[in-house]
């Protein structure tokens, strides 16, 4: 290869290298320079309130679920066929106190009972002649009793006997044994008819006429739809502020209206799970229903030297965030009274700066600035 050709090749290589270097520098200049890390953490802005301890009037807030004060489960104590009646025993049907709810077929049992009464009547009649001779002073009482005896009606109470000899005579003839046996059978006969103990309405009925009902079978529930009890919990600190008979104003989130109730019962023991006493509030209204939730307030009372803090600012059951030297601090407080939207606490000095809202991902020592 000639010297000229070698020089041309070398020159071309140098030019290519120079162009590559210039292109690389040009392209590098087009890239955005990375931002420098300032090394500073993001500072959160917060709003604060300066607190002052004071005497505050507090209410006892309560809420609970209504249940009928008069409510019974209807069971049968005997076996028999359910008889049809003029009024259907179905859910929602109302019955007055003393009205027949259900009646089972008692014809066989009744006839057997009447036969037993007839035998007892016969036994008494046989004794009458001997009583006239041995105990003439009481003869007229026994005679009248036997004459009024009706085998198809409940046996009346036996004549009073004061003579011990006469009493022993009656015992030897099994008069008292048969008498009490018949009274037990009469009580059993009454169980074939179920009477409404109070004015109310049938609920959860599950029986139809002519069905065979077994002894011990639950047939329905029977409730008073106008008289209710509201079970609520009251803390140990609040229990001394209430008494039986205190009035309570109640409202519902579901329907409009206000209802006045009164405390009818107060539990004597502290519930270990909730650490509250059970309070029962009676309320009467045809606007309310079994299972509804109601809320209300009870007696107002004054609490001194406390700070009123929004309940949503209480952390971990007894801590609040305060601000000092642009840093967040967790402060332990004593909870004195809790309501729906606020909590009264002690343990915060006057003029302490308390954050007035929840801060996301807050922690002890977090750097903040006051807005």
- How high does pLDDT run on average in the chain? 86
- The closest alpha carbon to 335, from 354, 352, 350, 316, belongs to 316
Query: If you count them, how many residues does the chain have?
Result: 371
pLDDT of residue 32: 45
Place of tokens 């709003």: 47
Residues of the chain with pLDDT > 90, as a percent, come to 48
> Is the confidence at residue 305, as pLDDT, over 80?
yes
> Is the confidence at residue 202, as pLDDT, over 90?
yes
Query: Which segment of 145-159, 203-217, 273-287, 329-343 scores lowest on mean pLDDT?
Result: 329-343
Average pLDDT, integer, range 238-251: 88
> Is the confidence at residue 22, as pLDDT, over 70?
no
> Is the confidence at residue 287, as pLDDT, over 60?
yes
Average pLDDT, integer, range 305-324: 88
CA distance 167 to 71: 46
Radius of gyration of the chain (CA): 45
Structure tokens at 1: 């290869």
Average pLDDT, integer, range 331-342: 83
pLDDT confidence tier of residue 18, bands split at 50, 70 and 90: low
Query: Which segment of 14-18, 84-88, 291-295 scores lowest on mean pLDDT?
Result: 14-18
Average pLDDT, integer, range 203-230: 91
pLDDT confidence tier of residue 263, bands split at 50, 70 and 90: very high
- The closest alpha carbon to 336, from 55, 147, 148, 125, belongs to 55
CA distance 278 to 270: 8
User: What is the tens place of the pLDDT at every residue in 82-126?
Assistant: 999 888 899 989 999 999 999 999 999 999 999 999 999 999 999
């Amino acid at each position: 290869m000639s010297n000229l050709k070698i020089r041309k090749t070398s020159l071309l290589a140098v030019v290519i290298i120079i162009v590559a270097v210039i292109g690389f520098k040009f392209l590098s200049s087009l890239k955005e320079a990375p931002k420098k890390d300032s090394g500073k953490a993001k500072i959160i802005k917060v709003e604060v309130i300066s607190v002052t301890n004071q005497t505050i009037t507090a209410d006892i807030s309560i809420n609970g679920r209504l249940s009928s004060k008069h409510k019974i489960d209807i069971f049968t104590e005997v076996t028999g066929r359910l008889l049809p009646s003029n009024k259907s025993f179905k859910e929602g049907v109302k019955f007055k106190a003393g009205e027949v709810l259900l009646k089972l077929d008692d014809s066989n049992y009744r006839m057997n009972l009447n036969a037993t009464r007839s035998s007892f009547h016969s036994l008494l009649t046989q004794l009458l002649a001997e009583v006239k001779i041995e105990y003439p002073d009481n003869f007229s009482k026994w005679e009248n009793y036997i004459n009024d005896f009706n085998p198809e009606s409940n046996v009346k109470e036996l004549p009073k006997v004061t003579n011990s000899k006469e009493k022993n005579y009656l015992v030897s003839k099994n008069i008292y044994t048969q008498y009490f046996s018949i009274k037990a059978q009469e009580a059993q006969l009454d169980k074939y008819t179920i009477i409404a103990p109070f004015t109310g309405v049938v609920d959860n009925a599950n029986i139809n006429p002519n069905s065979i009902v077994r002894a011990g079978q639950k047939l329905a529930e029977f409730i008073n739809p106008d008289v209710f009890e509201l079970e609520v919990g009251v803390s140990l600190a609040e229990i001394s502020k209430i008494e039986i008979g205190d009035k309570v104003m109640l409202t519902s989130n579901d329907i409009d209206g206000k209802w006045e109730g009164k405390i009818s019962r107060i539990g004597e023991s502290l519930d270990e799970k909730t650490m509250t006493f059970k309070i029962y509030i009676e309320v009467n209204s045809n606007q309310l229903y079994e299972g509804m939730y109601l809320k209300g307030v009870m007696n107002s009372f004054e609490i001194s030297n406390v700070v009123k803090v929004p309940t949503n600012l209480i952390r971990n059951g007894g801590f609040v965030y305060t601000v000092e030297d642009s840093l967040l601090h967790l402060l332990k407080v004593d909870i004195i009274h809790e309501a729906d939207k606020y909590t009264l606490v002690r343990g915060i000095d006057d003029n302490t700066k308390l954050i007035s809202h929840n801060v996301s991902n807050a922690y002890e020592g977090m750097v903040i600035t006051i807005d």
